[in-house]
Structure 1
């Protein structure tokens, strides 16, 4: 059994399917088709959804912490100092413009949407929404008792925290397009639970093997060399998915590196 943990912009599954249960089934079917293997999904998008926001593509309308996240993100991407300096809302607009010039308009829209949703999760260690997202992932893991978890994007942050807060026995954790090590944006904000903060960067205690995969052009997977901040990673694969789809979950799932990592678990007897 494999469980997938999704990233941002997955509320659309609920909007289409009507219930979280059916949304999870739809997402799982899409991921399983890309992976070529059966898969269940832990679905938490509704827990971070704040509703439609007028002018959602405007960086100035992001909450203050999300604006700071965007600024730290473009800094990690190599934006010059003049882009991230200034007064009032000018820097965040400059940062968004720099993103569009450097990576295209789609990247600008994606990063703004990512910051809105990710800030809802990481802004407050004690946030009920943050705890609820972790608990939903743990609920599915404890029910399904999978041998492996594949976690994409923000889902890798949710899964990593969940597996520290309440360890679950897993043969394999695969993180795809993970921002776990992004300075100021995620790494310093990780919440591993009481007594675990000193273990930040290590493999979660119930996980036997941790594999990370990152596209060379993925603007979310920063730093690209995640083991430099997370020595608990056992294997790291850098791949090329193509410029347009460099962060798409299904493109990561279709990579042969992931199939090779999962194959031994699927062929081995399940004694759990």
Structure 2
């Protein structure tokens, strides 16, 4: 019986559903116990995994496919890299900012952004090609219909009549939102979004399906409660509050995740996340699921 469905974000292409579940579950369990003394068995949790849809075909080189500044494409990839650079520079003194509000129009400026991000604690341990690859996955989700459809179908198949809570992280929050909007026949679900880019204008918000109208996005019909959680230093969650764009019923909460602001594990162990999950699970118990 899957009561909680988890939805991951970018850069998970070399893992699998059980690998990720084993990584997430201890933190999810700790968050529930620390916040509310609630336990949840691992067989009540599942991972809606789609990372393999982004896994590249085999190639002769070792490691990740070779990518450099010249491979960054105009549009989403460059704009996203620029946003990460600007946000990291605002949060960390060690990261040199662009100095102007100019967009990244040449490989030289793109290389400056990549060099600056290499000094960021947020991107610590990520190679230049991994940063580029992460931006590319976001672009592919929004511009390649077969990828978008495939990703969404993975989540849709994971949700059953036993599902009470969907916990989504990073790009996974976009996936969860779009799938929930597409399935008005579902009901009584709690949505918890962590490190979400959903409200980032000129990059994510306007590309959502269904399209926002006059700056306001549709409320996903199956959702009875929505809690959005962000760390102030999370470079991906550039807009911390979703309520102004998605509805006043959203509960926006700030947490402190330490140096790894976007890491899913401190998000899951946060008291705020544990309380939101505990409330939903108690509601489900009361309803007699």
Q: What range is the shorter-chain TM-score in?
A: 0.7 to 0.9
TM-score of the superposition, structure 1-length normalised?
0.82
Which of 180, 190, 207 is 1:163 aligned to? 180
Kindly state the Cα deviation for residue 128 of structure 1 after the two structures are TM-superposed: 0.8
Matched, 1:261 2:276: yes
Which of 43, 47, 52 is 1:46 aligned to? 52
Kindly state the Cα deviation for residue 169 of structure 1 after the two structures are TM-superposed: 2.0
TM-score of the superposition, structure 2-length normalised?
0.77
Quick one: distance in 2 between partners of 1:260 and 1:105?
29
Residue of structure 1 in register with 2:36 after alignment:
none
Which of 86, 102, 120 is 1:84 aligned to? 102
Residue of structure 1 in register with 2:93 after alignment:
none
Structure 2 unmatched ranges of 5 or more: 30-39, 58-62, 91-96
Kindly state the Cα deviation for residue 94 of structure 1 after the two structures are TM-superposed: 2.4
Quick one: distance in 2 between partners of 1:60 and 1:182?
25
- Structure with the higher helix share, 1 or 2: 1
Shift in CA distance, 170/95, structure 1 to aligned 2, threshold 3 Å: farther
Structure number with the bigger relative contact order (C-alpha 8 A, sep ≥ 6) is 2
Shift in CA distance, 147/117, structure 1 to aligned 2, threshold 3 Å: same
Residues 108-257 of structure 1 aligned to structure 2 (within 5 Å) = 109=128, 111-124=131-144, 127-141=145-159, 143=160, 145-167=162-184, 168-192=186-210, 197-198=212-213, 200-243=216-259, 245-257=260-272
SS in 2 for 1:209: strand
Checking the alignment, whether the CA contact within 8 Å between 1:70 and 1:95 is kept in structure 2 is yes
Checking the alignment, whether the CA contact within 8 Å between 1:148 and 1:170 is kept in structure 2 is no
Quick one: distance in 2 between partners of 1:83 and 1:55?
29
Quick one: distance in 1 between partners of 2:69 and 2:120?
17
Kindly state the Cα deviation for residue 173 of structure 1 after the two structures are TM-superposed: 0.1
Quick one: distance in 1 between partners of 2:227 and 2:150?
26
Residue of structure 2 in register with 1:10 after alignment:
12
SS in 2 for 1:82: coil
Shift in CA distance, 53/24, structure 1 to aligned 2, threshold 3 Å: closer
Q: How many residues align?
A: 255
Structure 1 unmatched ranges of 5 or more: 14-22
Checking the alignment, whether the CA contact within 8 Å between 2:79 and 2:104 is kept in structure 1 is no
What is the alpha-carbon root mean square deviation over aligned residues? 2.7
Shift in CA distance, 104/248, structure 1 to aligned 2, threshold 3 Å: closer
Quick one: distance in 1 between partners of 2:53 and 2:276?
31
Quick one: distance in 2 between partners of 1:146 and 1:242?
31
Which of 42, 63, 82 is 1:71 aligned to? 82
